[in-house]
Chain A
Amino acid sequence: MHIKVLFFLSFLFYSASGSTKYWVSFSDKNGVTFNPYTYFESRTIEQRILQHIPLVDSTDFPLNQLYVQQITTLSDSVNWQSRWLNGIAVYASPLQVEKMKLFSFVSCIVPMTAKAVLANKKGVYNNLSIIQKELLNYQTTRLKGNEFEKQKLDGTGIRIAVFDAGFPGVDKHPAFDHLRKNGRIIATYDFIKKREDVYHFSSHGTATLSCIAGLLDTVKIGMATGAEVLLARTEYAVRDNFSEEENWLAAAEWADRQGVNIISSSLGYLFECYFNFEMNGKTSLVARAATIAAQKGILVISAGGNEGSDKWHFIDTPSDADSVLTVGGTDPFTDFHIYFSSYGPTSDGRLKPNISAPGQAIVATESGYTVESGTSFSAPLVAGFAACAWQKNRSWTNMQLFNAIEKSAHLYPYFDYAHGFGIPQADHILANTIQTEPTFDFVIVNDEIKVVLREKFAYPEMENALGYKTQRNFYYKLEDSSGTILYYKVLLADQKEMLHLAASQFNNGDVLTVHFEGYTSSFDLQDDDSDIK
């Protein structure tokens, strides 16, 4: 009797998970034709010509509809098709999948069981105080956004697609009046509901959009107030929902078709969907989609994730993809890594995050403004920055812009896996050169290596952009002879002699790199010909 009950319950559970979502990849696109001039908007064609990217490649061709038809017949339902990855997402039973595998045109079928998280931490404030207004100012001036303003750079002519979980209020909130009045919300699409209306569900997208192009009265929340935007709802708001990775892919193709220059994504897929060793930028569907988007000339900017204080504290995907500009978060009050910002590198050892930006910001909500925390807001702040930088340098390719943003960052050429190259600086982009004077010296006394701040820079604290006395940060790292970082630290620069290291404790070829106040220098440890580089 009781055994029967157990089997019945077992059956119920099995039935509940009986129809699973699968990604079905096709082997070819035989017999398919494609005309880019009728499919793409003229902007897409212009972008490809400008960036010397082939106007058409096989990823642009549509799927073989005969293949699609046969798979559709065998499936419970079909979600999206992808030209880029030559496949479709279907709901099917294991039996149906076995039948699909028999088709010669099916190259592989993989189950999709991803979960997504929104890369933000809930804010605790409701009303803007004086300090919060200072924060509003800080979130753009820390990137020297005022330098863009001086040159009237506001992202005009740049088209940005925002992928998020909903945009309630964007159709009536005063923060976006300028976008609506000038017809700069170019297109919207809800890839979950399959309709154009995106002004519902999670206000996470409203907040991230404001960090790109929002205004609070006349003060910029994000730098690209002159940009055009496309809004794509690709995710549910609730963390535990099974997500639709293929929606991200479909939205990217949709954005590419409409000549988007920048994709800003604050969605992360992490340990619930992939194993740690799969965070290599090549495994997840979204990482592969983001890589193709970059190949099409789009600058993809993605939030690094908010798992920094968790056991699994690594960069999410698609931020693990090589050509995605991954943004970590900094604390506005200390100016270094904010505790929740995820750490790099990728599982295959590549530098991530690439750069950082404030991880706490004033954002628009559905009906007002608030303070929110998360790399969700670091990424769109950089998207606004990138739009202004690209407006200034329209001849750059997306990857030239990518590199220029990295080089403009305040720690460059220093980097570590918490900050990347640091916070991008508009004045560095505009000047195209960075002048720095030495701020410290390596001093060798017998077996000891000291790092001593120069007199001019040896003072304990300074005033930050929020008007508060704050510490200055001293960064250093140790790399082995192959360039692998062994450890990295940030110290409070509260004394003149910052480091005392015994040379004997290091291996031949180890390199100590220090960054302080815009100046970076390295020292080869245990090398007979050691010298300051």
Chain B
Amino acid sequence: MHVKHILIILILISFSLGVRSQTVLLNVDQADEKKFTTEEVGQNLKRFNQGFIRIAGIIPPENPGARVVYGTSIDLAVGFRKKYKVSGAYSLGWEAAIGYKSVQIKQEAHKQVLGTDLSKKERFNISTIGLGFYNRINFDPGRGNFIGTYFDLAIKGEYAIFERVLFNKLSDGSNGKLILSNLPYTRPFQSELLARLGRGHFALIASYRISELFKKSFGYPELPVMSAGFEFGLY
């Protein structure tokens, strides 16, 4: 196409815009507003959706031979939750999340987990996708349209999509980093119980892993099963 033709088309377009276009300062379509009277989605309505971020740390108790470094052993998750209100005091819900656990294993003489070799640092990381179901008891059933104070008990299942072990400064004394993945000794499915005590956007959480992390045939002691921290609701 010639440049001349393109120019003619552009001139025609600009001409038509000049004649027809409106500068809209305000445009309110009431069809979009109808949900004001019909919508049942809200913090204390029939349904409520929210995102959340969970930040927790691994906590004792721990097994001999599988001691960890607290503070740097973390349990993180980002997810989405749906709540179904049954009554002012009781709700049910489900949540889906992507999780990431990173446990720093203490390097000491009696270490057994993931082998007895010692490094400067050894870290076991696992990424998961999970689905959970929860019961919620609200302490302020007569509240307005806000979350209020609540206690949740949840059970969730997780599937490991990626696991690896990182070693810093190897047992032979050489500097370097060794990363092992596709670990043969981890079980892909995990399950845990979770308790949550919250008010509004914030909640304290504690979780308890009820499944074993390692296959029995490898004989590794289990890493700590509990974590505690907080959640922040995104809404």
Task: Chain B residues near A487: list those with CB within 8 A.
Answer: 27-31
Q: Interface size bucket, B side?
A: 35 or more
Partner of B39 from A9, A276, A343 at Cβ < 8 Å: A276
A489 touches B26 (CB 8 A): yes
A14 touches B139 (CB 8 A): yes
A113 touches B142 (CB 8 A): yes
Among B104-112, B145-153, B166-174, B183-191, the stretch that binds chain A is B145-153
B26 touches A272 (CB 8 A): no
Task: Chain B residues near A9: list those with CB within 8 A.
Answer: 197, 204
Chain A min CB distance to B197 (Å): 5
Partner of B37 from A6, A271, A277, A337 at Cβ < 8 Å: A277
Instruction: Report if B45 contacts A (CB, 8 A).
Output: yes
Instruction: Report if A442 contacts B (CB, 8 A).
Output: no
Instruction: Report if B71 contacts A (CB, 8 A).
Output: no
Q: Mark A323-366, 1 if CB is under 8 A from B, else 0.
A: 00000000000101100000100011100000000000000000
Knowing A6-B195, A20-B140 touch, does A347 contact B145 (C-beta < 8 A)?
no
A10 touches B30 (CB 8 A): no
In whole angstroms, how far apart are the Cα atoms of A488 and B145 in the complex?
Answer: 30
A114 touches B28 (CB 8 A): no
Task: Chain A residues near B195: list those with CB within 8 A.
Answer: 6
A500 touches B20 (CB 8 A): yes
Task: Chain A residues near B42: list those with CB within 8 A.
Answer: 271, 275-276
Task: Chain A residues near B29: list those with CB within 8 A.
Answer: 486-487
Task: Chain B residues near A337: list those with CB within 8 A.
Answer: 26
Task: Chain A residues near B149: list those with CB within 8 A.
Answer: 13-14, 16-17
Partner of A276 from B28, B36, B139, B142 at Cβ < 8 Å: B36
Chain B CB count within 10 A is highest, among A6, A16, A471, A473, for: A6
Instruction: Report if B219 contacts A (CB, 8 A).
Output: no
Task: Chain A residues near B64: list those with CB within 8 A.
Answer: none
Chain A min CB distance to B48 (Å): 12
Task: Chain A residues near B151: list those with CB within 8 A.
Answer: 10, 13
Task: Chain B residues near A135: list those with CB within 8 A.
Answer: none
Instruction: Report if A413 contacts B (CB, 8 A).
Output: no
Instruction: Report if B199 contacts A (CB, 8 A).
Output: yes
A272 touches B145 (CB 8 A): yes
Chain A CB count within 10 A is highest, among B24, B30, B146, for: B30
Q: Mark B127-156, 1 if CB is under 8 A from A, else 0.
A: 000000000000110111110010100000
Q: Which chain B residues numbered 23 to 59 have a C-beta less than 8 Å away from chain A?
A: 23-31, 33, 36-37, 39, 42, 44-45
Task: Chain B residues near A498: list those with CB within 8 A.
Answer: 22
Instruction: Report if B226 contacts A (CB, 8 A).
Output: yes
Chain B min CB distance to A389 (Å): 28
Instruction: Report if B223 contacts A (CB, 8 A).
Output: no
Partner of A336 from B26, B45, B199, B206 at Cβ < 8 Å: B26
Task: Chain B residues near A113: list those with CB within 8 A.
Answer: 140, 142-144, 146
Task: Chain A residues near B146: list those with CB within 8 A.
Answer: 113, 115, 272
Q: Mark B1-27, 1 if CB is under 8 A from A, else 0.
A: 000000000000000000110111111
Knowing A13-B199, A418-B26, A492-B22 touch, does A275 contact B37 (C-beta < 8 A)?
no
Task: Chain A residues near B23: list those with CB within 8 A.
Answer: 491-492, 494
Q: Which 5 A-B residue pairings sit nearest by Cβ, starting from the closest?
A: A111-B142, A492-B23, A490-B26, A273-B144, A490-B25
